């Protein structure tokens, strides 16, 4: 026990930790940059109108937020093997479950855009 442990033959703990954090940041930073650039590469402009809408109209923006929050909650409920068992389970057994309905909607969407390369 003691600070001498931090510098051992072939390992300078502080320098190593700095470099380690550097790699973690580096990796995620590159991913972040890639994510920022990709849409432009793909020339996706379907995002802009939406942002305009939300800026001009806050209330609808709030509604949107609520909807999105709900959507995320649904996503977590449906997909994550976490504590919300009764619900996850219900979505197996119970056919009237709202989650299932949402799931159906989701499937419909993804069916609309079958081949992601030509839209």
Q: Given the rule CB under 8 A, which residues bind another protein?
A: 1-3, 5-6, 8, 10-17, 19-21, 23-36, 38-39, 42, 44, 46-47, 50-51, 54, 61-62, 64-66, 68-69, 71-73, 75-76, 79-86, 88-89, 92, 110, 113-117, 119
In angstroms, rounded to a whole number, what is the distance separating the alpha carbons of residues 96 and 67? 21
Q: Which is nearer to a copy of itself, 8 or 115 (CB)?
A: 115
Please list every residue from 1 through 60 that binds a copy of itself, using CB under 8 A.
Answer: none
Q: Which is nearer to another protein, 28 or 101 (CB)?
A: 28
Please list every residue from 90 through 109 that binds a copy of itself, using CB under 8 A.
Answer: 90, 93-95, 100, 103-104, 107
In angstroms, rounded to a whole number, what is the distance separating the alpha carbons of residues 41 and 20? 31
Among residues 23, 106, 38, 34, the alpha carbon closest in space to that of 72 is found at: 106
Number of residues that bind a copy of itself (CB under 8 A): 13
Angle at Cα 35 formed by Cα 78 and Cα 114, nearest 5°? 55
In angstroms, rounded to a whole number, what is the distance separating the alpha carbons of residues 117 and 66? 31
| DSSP-based three-state secondary structure for 10 | coil
């Amino acid at each position: 026990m003691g600070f001498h442990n931090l510098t051992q033959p072939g390992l300078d703990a502080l320098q190593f930790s700095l470099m380690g954090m550097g790699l973690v940041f580096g990796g995620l930073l590159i991913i972040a940059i890639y994510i920022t650039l990709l849409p432009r590469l793909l020339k996706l402009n379907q995002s802009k109108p939406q942002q305009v809408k939300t800026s001009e109209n806050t209330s609808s923006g709030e509604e949107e937020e609520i909807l999105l929050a709900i959507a995320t909650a649904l996503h977590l409920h449906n997909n994550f093997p976490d504590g919300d068992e009764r619900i996850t389970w219900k979505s197996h057994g119970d056919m009237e479950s709202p989650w299932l309905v949402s799931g159906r909607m989701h499937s419909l969407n993804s069916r609309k855009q079958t081949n992601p390369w030509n839209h």
